[in-house]
């Protein structure tokens, strides 16, 4: 089935898309930036880079982290991080719904499409 792939462009080179959203979701699931990055086959350095990019982009950092301690530190989403992630996932749902009929119309014109299907 056809689907939309999109990112939000705030300005040239400044965007938020599926990779950043998935990384935030995995930071929630894993409690660690490194572990979240590994789940996306991303190097430790790349995962931190994306987090730093997001934290610098928004007025309030999206991801907070602590080093060491008996719990071994970890990472979590701030309230701003949770809000941005929820807004993006909501956007994703809204766009999928708004685009559904036209995606179906485009898909019906593809080669090898069964006109009876």
Query: Could you say which of 8, 29, 40, 66 contacts a copy of itself (CB under 8 A)?
Result: 8
Do 44 and 34 contact (CB within 8 A), yes or no?
yes
Member of 29, 40, 66, 95 binding a copy of itself (CB under 8 A): 95
Tell the residue number behind the tokens 């939000």, with chain if given. Answer: 8
Closest CA to 30 of 39, 41, 18, 21: 39
Question: Shortest gap between Cβ of 70 and a copy of itself (angstroms)?
Answer: 34
How far is 85 from 62, CA to CA, in rounded Å? 9
Contact string (CB under 8 A) for a copy of itself, positions 14-53, x = contact: -xx-------------------------------------
Q: Pick the binder of a copy of itself from 5, 13, 68, 71 (CB under 8 A).
A: 5
CB atoms within 10 A of CB 95: 12
Q: Is 70 in the site for a copy of itself (CB under 8 A)?
A: no
Q: Which stretch binds a copy of itself (CB under 8 A): 34-42, 45-53, 65-73, 101-109?
A: 101-109
Contacting residues for 65 by C-beta, under 8 A, at least 6 apart: 33, 51, 73, 74, 75, 76
**Cα angle, residue 91 at apex, residues 109 and 29 outer, rounded to 5°:** 110
Residues that bind a copy of itself (CB under 8 A): 2-10, 15-16, 56-60, 80, 83-84, 87-88, 90-91, 94-95, 97-99, 102-103, 105-107, 109-113
């Amino acid at each position: 089935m056809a689907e939309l792939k999109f990112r939000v462009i705030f300005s040239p080179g400044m965007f938020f898309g599926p990779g950043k959203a998935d990384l935030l979701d995995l930071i929630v699931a894993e409690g660690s930036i490194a572990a979240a990055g590994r789940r996306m086959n991303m190097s430790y350095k790349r995962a931190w880079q994306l987090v730093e990019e997001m934290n610098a982009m928004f007025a309030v950092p999206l991801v907070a982290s602590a080093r060491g301690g008996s719990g071994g530190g970890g990472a979590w989403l701030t309230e701003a991080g949770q809000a941005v992630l929820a807004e993006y996932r909501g956007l994703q749902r809204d766009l999928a719904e708004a685009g559904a009929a036209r995606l179906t119309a485009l898909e019906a014109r593809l080669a090898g499409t069964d006109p009876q299907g």
